[in-house]
Structure 1
Amino acid sequence: MSDHQLFLAVFLGGKDTPRMKAWMAMPEAERHAKEHEGIAAWKAWVEKHKASIVDIGGPLGKTKAIGVEGVADASNRLTGFTVVRSASHADAAKMFEAHPHFTIFPGETVEVMPVLPIPAG
């Protein structure tokens, strides 16, 4: 068993952010070219970190919130996720520095947090 810990990386962005508004205001051909550039950069990021990636994850769709009052449509800033294994929280975070999510695409941030063990109870 490795002494490396699991970390969940969540990708955040929003439909009404200045970055997304600028992205959507680009001419379609320019936006399409940036999408190709971004996908290529994302694939290169995956290749570079493939030994640490536990679950590549993916984009997230529409949200349903479930609570004591039932189920309702909801909105949040979550746009995707990835699960990685790393020796430390700092090392896991460093994997996402200069990530295409926010250097090419109009995403805002990537948040990285440890996956903690379930308490024994």
Structure 2
Amino acid sequence: MTDYLVLYRAQETAAEQMGGQDPEAAAASMKAWTDWQEKAGDAVVDFGSPTQPVAGADEGSTTSIGGYSLMRADSLEDLERLLADHPHKAWGGSIEILELLSIPGM
């Protein structure tokens, strides 16, 4: 099994996205995420959290990292299948996947 850091990127920051939602839209959004999490099951190691850039952001980037999850899968292909219908993509965001490597000597 391999561990992955999944980054959720979007044009707006998570604070901008969440701040502009009415309560019903926010509840529907959260339900879509928790439905996806339930479907992904044990592959979700840590559901994660929304994030807010505070320092060191790449000024040339056109997207912001709005959140993350930690996931585990047998292969990148298996993980990509789990993320294929992720609600973040349905709302126009993109998903970046990074493999977590072992630290030598630890």
Q: TM-score, normalised by structure 1?
A: 0.67
Corresponding residue SS for 2:42? coil
Higher gyration radius (CA)? 1
RMSD value, Cα: 2.5
Structure 1 segments of 4 or more deviating over 3 A? Answer: 31-34, 73-76
| 1:1-121 alignment, distance < 5 Å | 4-15=1-12, 32-65=23-56, 77-103=64-90, 106-120=91-105
Structure 1 gaps, min length 5: 66-72
The CA distance in 2 between the partners of 1:87 and 1:74, in whole Å, is: 32
Deviations along 1:91-112, one digit per CA (max 9) or x if unpaired, are: 1121111211131xx4521112
Q: Among the aligned pairs, what percent are the same residue?
A: 23
Give the number of aligned pairs: 97
TM-score, normalised to structure 2, is 0.75
